[in-house]
Amino acid sequence: MDLRQLEIIRAIAETGSFTGAGARLGVSQSAISRQILLLEEELDEPVFLRVGRRVRITAAGEALLQLSHRVFRDLGDTLAAITDTEKPLIGTLHLVGGMTVSLYVFPALLREFGRIHPQADVKISAGSGERCAAMIRSGTADLGLLTLPVDEPDLVTVPAIEEELLLVTSDSHALAARKRVTSQDLKGVPFVLFEPGSNTRRVIDQFFAREGIEPRIVMETENVEIIKALVRVGLGVGIVPYQAVSREPSSGHLFITRVQGAELVRKTGWVYARTSRVPRAVDAVIQVFERVKPKLRLSPNHERAGRKIVENES
């Protein structure tokens, strides 16, 4: 097996045919077929199954495809390390993160990153923490900003931010008339929450357990904008990261408050594959993030007066 065969596997998988792979790599379809045949003879295992005019990758082929992602990523990192590290990055960078991160962190990060590295092509995917970690592990994503903890031996985590989770209700909800909201006020209240399994939901569930609250859940979704929309119309109350509501206008029909005496904080960190050397692209993203981090709205402590936030000071 050689690098060219791994490159051919990637091209076939991405184009869906031997002909398409040949066109992408600038060789004939027969040359592509010959290389795959040699590889299958070496492995004594089919890599692709021919189904009509299309091909379907086998389990063995999928394993080699994931290997190719890792090999070419490491090759690209090595070549980048050899070249002048002061030069702007060139190539494709794939970032992953949850819905809130994708909505409220990545835009500012990518704006600054694009200014510093205009030739880099950045791709973003939003998904659950489990899905994002799997993409990083397989090599299809380079770096993720995920809610911690992520306890995987083949992944490195670097703490990035701590953000406060706040209670949100419609501005006509009975809780909106209170100067302070306590955990006891939440008993029997309908909730619109993040889906189970996420680390953000785990923080919320731990809060419920500490306070002896058995939440009446009417809706669960990973999309924070859906949570806010349902809260606005009075379906229930929610607990969301402050970033998701910090820019809500005064006419946004949301009441935002802390739960008095409660610690509701989620930690988010960078996650990337464990290798012998931190890829230059990963380093570059983290460095740019540190430049934009002070501009992120993680807590209402320093917001201007006039926002519809109850501080719940004791």
Cβ neighbours around 143 below 10 Å, total: 25
Tens-level pLDDT at each residue, the chain (314 residues): 888 999 999 999 989 889 999 999 999 999 999 999 999 999 999 999 987 777 899 999 999 999 999 888 888 777 766 565 566 788 889 999 998 999 999 999 999 999 999 989 999 999 889 999 999 998 899 999 999 999 989 999 999 999 999 999 998 999 998 889 999 999 999 999 999 988 999 999 999 999 999 999 999 998 999 999 999 999 999 999 999 998 776 666 899 999 998 889 999 999 999 988 888 889 999 999 999 999 888 887 644 333 445 444 43
The CA distance from 31 to 42, in Å, is 17
- Residue 179: per-residue pLDDT: 85
Let me know the angle formed at the C-alpha of 77 by 76 and 80, rounded to the nearest 5 degrees: 85
- 3-state secondary structure string across 166-227: EEEEECCCHHHHCCCECHHHHCCCEEEECCCCCHHHHHHHHHHHHHCCCCEEEEECCCHHHH
**Domain at 89-160+267-297, CATH class:** alpha beta
Task: Burial-class residue 16 by CB neighbours within 10 Å (0-12, 13-18, 19+).
Answer: middle
**Domain at 3-78, CATH class:** mainly alpha
- What would the CATH number be for the domain defined by 164-266+301-310? 3.40.190.10
Please state whether the predicted TM-score (pTM) of the whole model is above 0.85. no
Place of tokens 């306590």: 182
Task: Burial-class residue 308 by CB neighbours within 10 Å (0-12, 13-18, 19+).
Answer: middle
Domains 3-78 and 89-160+267-297 share a fold: no
Contact present, 144 and 271 (Cβ < 8 Å): yes
The CA distance from 233 to 154, in Å, is 44
Domain residue spans of the chain:
3-78, 89-160+267-297, 164-266+301-310
The CA distance from 83 to 205, in Å, is 48
The CA distance from 287 to 208, in Å, is 36
- Residue 83: per-residue pLDDT: 61
- Residue 1: per-residue pLDDT: 80
Output b/e per residue, 205-244; b: 16+ Cβ within 10 A.
eebbeeeebebeeebebbebeebbebbbeebbbbbbbbbb
